[in-house]
Amino acid sequence: ICHRSAKKDSIHFTWSYIPPVVFLKTHKTGGSTVQNVLFRMGEKDGATFAFPYYTYQFSYPDKFRADFVDELPEGSSNFDILCSHMRLDIEELRPMMLPNTIYVTILRDPVLTFESVFSCYTSTVPAFTLAKKAAEHRSALSMFLESPESFWDPKEPRNGLAKNPMSFDLGLDGQKWDSWPTDLTQLEETFQLVMIAEHFDESLVLLGALLKLELEELAYVHFNTRSAQDLTPLDDITKAKIRAWNRMDVLLYDFFLHLFWEKAARYGMERLKKDVARLRASTDRIRQKCVSRKEVPPGELEDLLRPVQTDSATILGYHVQGNLTKQDQGFCMRFVLPERHYHAHLYFQQYGRAMRPVEINRYQPRG
Ligand X SMILES: Nc1ncnc2c1ncn2[C@@H]1O[C@H](COP(=O)(O)OS(=O)(=O)O)[C@@H](OP(=O)(O)O)[C@H]1O
Contact residues toward ligand X (CB under 6 A) are 27-33, 112, 116, 197, 200, 222-226, 367
Residue 12 CA to its chain's centroid (Å): 34
Three-class DSSP category at 103: strand
Nearer to ligand X, 32 or 129 (CB): 32
Nearer to ligand X, 30 or 174 (CB): 30
Q: Please give the angle made by the CA atoms of 89, 93 and 95, to the nearest 5 degrees.
A: 135
Q: Taking the complex as a whole, how short is the minimal distance between the CB of residue 174 and ligand X, in angstroms?
A: 18
Name the residue number minimizing CB distance to ligand X: 32
Q: Taking the complex as a whole, how short is the minimal distance between the CB of residue 86 and ligand X, in angstroms?
A: 12
Nearer to ligand X, 72 or 297 (CB): 297
Q: How many CB atoms lie within 10 A of CB 58?
A: 27
Q: Taking the complex as a whole, how short is the minimal distance between the CB of residue 358 and ligand X, in angstroms?
A: 16
Q: Taking the complex as a whole, how short is the minimal distance between the CB of residue 30 and ligand X, in angstroms?
A: 3
Nearer to ligand X, 100 or 309 (CB): 309
Q: Taking the complex as a whole, how short is the minimal distance between the CB of residue 120 and ligand X, in angstroms?
A: 6
Q: How many CB atoms lie within 10 A of CB 366?
A: 12
CA dihedral 92, 95, 101, 105 (to 10 degrees): 0
Q: Taking the complex as a whole, how short is the minimal distance between the CB of residue 69 and ligand X, in angstroms?
A: 19
Q: Taking the complex as a whole, how short is the minimal distance between the CB of residue 74 and ligand X, in angstroms?
A: 30
Cβ atoms of residues 198 and 265 within 8 Å: no
Q: Taking the complex as a whole, how short is the minimal distance between the CB of residue 95 and ligand X, in angstroms?
A: 26
Q: How many CB atoms lie within 10 A of CB 75?
A: 7
Length, in residues, of the chain: 367
CA distance readout (Å), 69 to 50, 83, 172, 191: 6, 12, 21, 21
3-state helix, strand, coil in the chain (%, to 5): 50, 10, 40
Nearer to ligand X, 15 or 54 (CB): 54
Nearer to ligand X, 8 or 278 (CB): 278
Rounded to whole angstroms, how far apart are CA atoms 7 and 25?
25
Nearer to ligand X, 103 or 223 (CB): 223
Q: How many CB atoms lie within 10 A of CB 227?
A: 13
Nearer to ligand X, 176 or 280 (CB): 280
Cβ atoms of residues 157 and 168 within 8 Å: no
Rounded to whole angstroms, how far apart are CA atoms 312 and 123?
7
